[in-house]
Amino acid sequence: MEDKEGLGIDLGGGSGNLSLKLCKLTKKMRWINTDINPYFFDYFCQKAQEAGLRESGGGKGGCPQELPFEDNFADIIVSRGSYKFWGDKKKAFSEIYRVLKPGGMAYIGRGFPGNLPVETARRTNRPVPPSNER
């Protein structure tokens, strides 16, 4: 996966924790953290820059039902945990299909189960520390 090239979108990525991990794992890919709430993008861009990943990631506002990308734009789209907030899921998947390049892949996860202990969710969803702090 490290040698794969292309462009990926983290849909509903919030603070960008998953996007940052993907930037580190796929050094030749560019990842865009997309969320309906633009509040997260400064945080994400700051963390990407601190980790030396500034060229790998960026933030873009948008909702799953109206993705702000052209047709056949991305090689891969991932989403972890935002699915339950999507509203019109049929429209969202139509948009994902439209934005994916031919042969592209989407990995959509629905997030944490309702009975997950709060402390476990907090540990799992905490911001990724810069590489020099690990």
What single string gives the DSSP state of each residue in the chain? -TT--EEEEEET-TT-HHHHHHHHH-TTEEEEEEES-THHHHHHHHHHHHTT-TTTEEEEE-BTTB-SS-TT-EEEEEEES-GGG-S-HHHHHHHHHHHEEEEEEEEEE--S-TTS-HHHHHHHTSPPPPGGG-
In a domain, 67, yes or no: yes
**Per-residue model confidence as pLDDT tens digits over 45-74:** 888 888 887 666 677 888 899 999 999 999
The answer to whether residue 1 is domain-embedded is: no
Q: What is the pLDDT of residue 123?
A: 64
CATH number at residue 113: 3.40.50.150
pLDDT at 129: 46
Average pLDDT over residues 22-28: 84
The number of distinct structural domains making up the chain is 1
Does residue 108 sit within a domain? yes
- For residue 133, what pLDDT is reported? 42
In a domain, 66, yes or no: yes
128: number of CA atoms within 13 Å, CB side?
Answer: 23
Provide the pLDDT for residue 92. Answer: 94
Domain that holds residue 19: 6-133
- Predicted confidence (pLDDT) at residue 128 exceeds the cutoff of 50: no
Q: Look at 1 and 130; give whichever has higher pLDDT.
A: 1
Tell me if 62 is assigned to some domain: yes
Residue 134 has pLDDT above 50, yes or no: no
Q: Is the pLDDT of residue 111 over 80?
A: no
